[in-house]
């Protein structure tokens, strides 16, 4: 396994990479950076900064940026990986690249290597049912990304970084997410803090066990580490199966949101009082997001009934108070569809059936969601999203500069040109 990863690591360069993959990688970095810059809904993080007396260090910044990246449930994901590769290492990668004046081309190569390896690792690991795919397997690709950023050549050093980083995984719990507790977000912050320390840990002489990955994911965090099915053919880029979030909900909610929006669009005279019941048929991993009562708005980001209810209320221009959303969620029922389970992993299908009090049934069925790779004008959607997020902290001129800078990472520029990111502040908060 590791021989193939090392071979890919050593041989990878942008010159051999298809242009569409390079473009996708830049969009993923742009999207992630925008979320790192979004100071909205960050009262807790502002509190952390307010009580941080010294100038923020690279470590503290990587921690805060990692936490921010996932706080609004808008970070990218990958269908094959069954999770979110980029969030585990991108904040650390960007902050280290700026601090060490790494070339933009080198950063881009490091990101792609880290992403491709992380996505493959996520594919072959089956986590235990109670373990959320944040803050664990993504650290493996993250270590490769850090090594590539600093252009390490020694195989033993690279693998030691991987073995060390793999043990900095967290047993992130779905239960805490469903309860509306935001500890999951902090754990991604700690992942990025740890990766920012990785080179110094290795320089200090610490070593990791070469058995750590298999033991962790066969016996502790997971039930299967399917090495036999590991795809060592790097001619196919897993970046092609990445997606962007346009809705601030778990990706499992996006198909249902699109489905209900289609019904509302096709039946514009439908009133809220007409709706008796909504049935959602989806694949098993999404069907567990079936809570009809959510403790708070963060918990609601992981509930299909909550997502559908909020979408309907917004569409009908009705107050989207949390209690009202919970009340309407009682009408939304989620079902595990064996038919749709058979289509996984590449097709994530959803069917919505809305029944009125008069017995009329309205249906929509989708095999994709807005933000997936086949979305029309996807580049514009992502760029607009970045500009909206970055404008919470920067001027229009600065936002335009950042956008152009990231979309030209393939050129030989210096990441230190973004030094001002390390000192940015808004309302007393430097992110």
Mean pLDDT of 277-281: 98
Mean pLDDT of 337-343: 97
What's the DSSP call for residue 83?
Answer: B
What pLDDT score does 425 carry? 47
**What pLDDT, in 10s, does the model give residues 141-157?**
999 999 999 999 999 99
- Asked if pLDDT for residue 431 goes beyond 70, the answer is no
The domains found in the chain, sorted by start residue, are: 2-246+374-423 (1.10.4100.10), 251-366 (3.30.1330.120)
Neighbouring residues of 180: CB distance < 8 A, sequence distance ≥ 6: 294, 295, 296, 297, 298, 299, 300
Nearest to 367 by CA among 379, 352, 380, 377: 352
- What are the φ/ψ torsions at residue 415 (nearest 5 degrees)? -65, -20
What does the alpha-carbon distance between residue 260 and residue 79 come to, in Å, rounded to a whole number? 22
Cα distances (Å, whole numbers) of residue 300 to 7, 39, 43, 168: 43, 21, 19, 29
Mapping DSSP onto H, E and C, the string for 94-105 reads HHHHHHCCCEHH
pLDDT band for position 37 (cuts 50, 70, 90): confident
* Residue 76 · residue 242 · CB < 8 Å: yes
- Asked if pLDDT for residue 393 goes beyond 70, the answer is yes
Dihedral sign of CA atoms 400, 401, 403, 407 in order: positive
What pLDDT score does 226 carry? 76
Nearest to 109 by CA among 415, 401, 404: 415
Mean pLDDT of 43-63: 74
**What pLDDT, in 10s, does the model give residues 197-246?**
999 999 999 999 999 999 999 999 999 887 776 666 788 999 999 999 99
CA angle, residues 167, 135, 375, in degrees to nearest 5: 140
What pLDDT score does 42 carry? 63
- Asked if pLDDT for residue 426 goes beyond 60, the answer is no
- Asked if pLDDT for residue 427 goes beyond 50, the answer is no
What does the alpha-carbon distance between residue 279 and residue 305 come to, in Å, rounded to a whole number? 9
* Residue 86 · residue 75 · CB < 8 Å: yes
What pLDDT score does 423 carry? 65
What does the alpha-carbon distance between residue 426 and residue 36 come to, in Å, rounded to a whole number? 13
Cα distances (Å, whole numbers) of residue 422 to 14, 55, 100, 402: 27, 10, 12, 13
For the chain, what is the total number of helices (H) and then of strands (E)?
Answer: 19, 8
Q: What are the beta bridge partners of residue 414?
A: 103
More confident: 358 or 56: 358
């Amino acid at each position: 396994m590791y021989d193939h990863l090392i071979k890919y690591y050593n041989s990878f360069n942008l010159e051999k990479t298809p242009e569409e993959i390079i473009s996708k990688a830049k969009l993923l970095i742009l999207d992630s950076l925008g979320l790192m810059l979004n100071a909205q809904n960050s009262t807790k993080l502002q509190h952390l900064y307010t009580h941080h007396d010294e100038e923020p260090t690279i470590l503290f910044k990587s921690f805060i940026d990692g936490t921010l990246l996932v706080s609004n449930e808008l970070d990218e994901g990958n269908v094959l990986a069954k999770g979110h590769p980029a969030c585990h290492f991108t904040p650390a990668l960007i902050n280290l690249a700026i601090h060490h004046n790494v070339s933009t081309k080198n950063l881009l190569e490091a990101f792609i290597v880290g992403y491709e390896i992380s996505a493959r690792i996520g594919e072959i690991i089956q986590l235990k049912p109670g373990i959320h795919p944040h803050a664990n397997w993504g650290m493996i690709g993250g270590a490769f990304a850090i090594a590539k950023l600093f252009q390490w050549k020694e195989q033993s050093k690279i693998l030691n970084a991987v073995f060390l980083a793999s043990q900095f995984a967290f047993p992130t719990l779905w239960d805490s997410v469903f309860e509306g507790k935001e500890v999951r977000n902090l754990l991604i912050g700690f992942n990025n803090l740890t990766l920012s320390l990785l080179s110094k840990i290795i320089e200090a002489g610490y070593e990791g066990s070469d058995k750590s990955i298999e033991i962790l994911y066969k016996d502790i965090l997971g039930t299967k580490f399917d090495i036999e099915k590991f795809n060592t053919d790097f001619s196919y880029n897993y970046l092609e199966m990445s997606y962007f979030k346009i809705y601030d909900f778990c990706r499992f909610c996006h198909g249902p949101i699109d489905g209900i929006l289609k019904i509302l669009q096709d039946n514009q005279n439908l009133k809220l009082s007409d709706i008796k019941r909504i049935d959602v048929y989806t694949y098993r991993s999404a069907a567990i997001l079936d809570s009809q009562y959510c403790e708070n708005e963060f918990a609601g980001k992981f509930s299909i009934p909550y997502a559908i209810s909020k979408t309907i209320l917004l569409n009908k221009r009705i107050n989207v108070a949390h209690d009202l959303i919970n009340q309407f969620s009682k009408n939304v029922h989620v079902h595990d569809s064996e038919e749709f389970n058979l289509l996984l992993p590449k097709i994530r299908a959803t069917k919505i059936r809305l029944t009125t009090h008069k017995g009329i049934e309205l249906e929509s069925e989708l095999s994709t969601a807005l933000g997936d790779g086949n979305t029309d004008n996807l580049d514009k959607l992502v760029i607009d999203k970045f500009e909206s997020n970055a404008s919470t902290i920067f001027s229009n001129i600065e936002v335009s500069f950042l956008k152009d800078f990231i979309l030209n990472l393939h050129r030989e520029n210096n990441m230190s040109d973004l030094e001002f990111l390390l000192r940015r502040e808004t309302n007393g908060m430097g992110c």
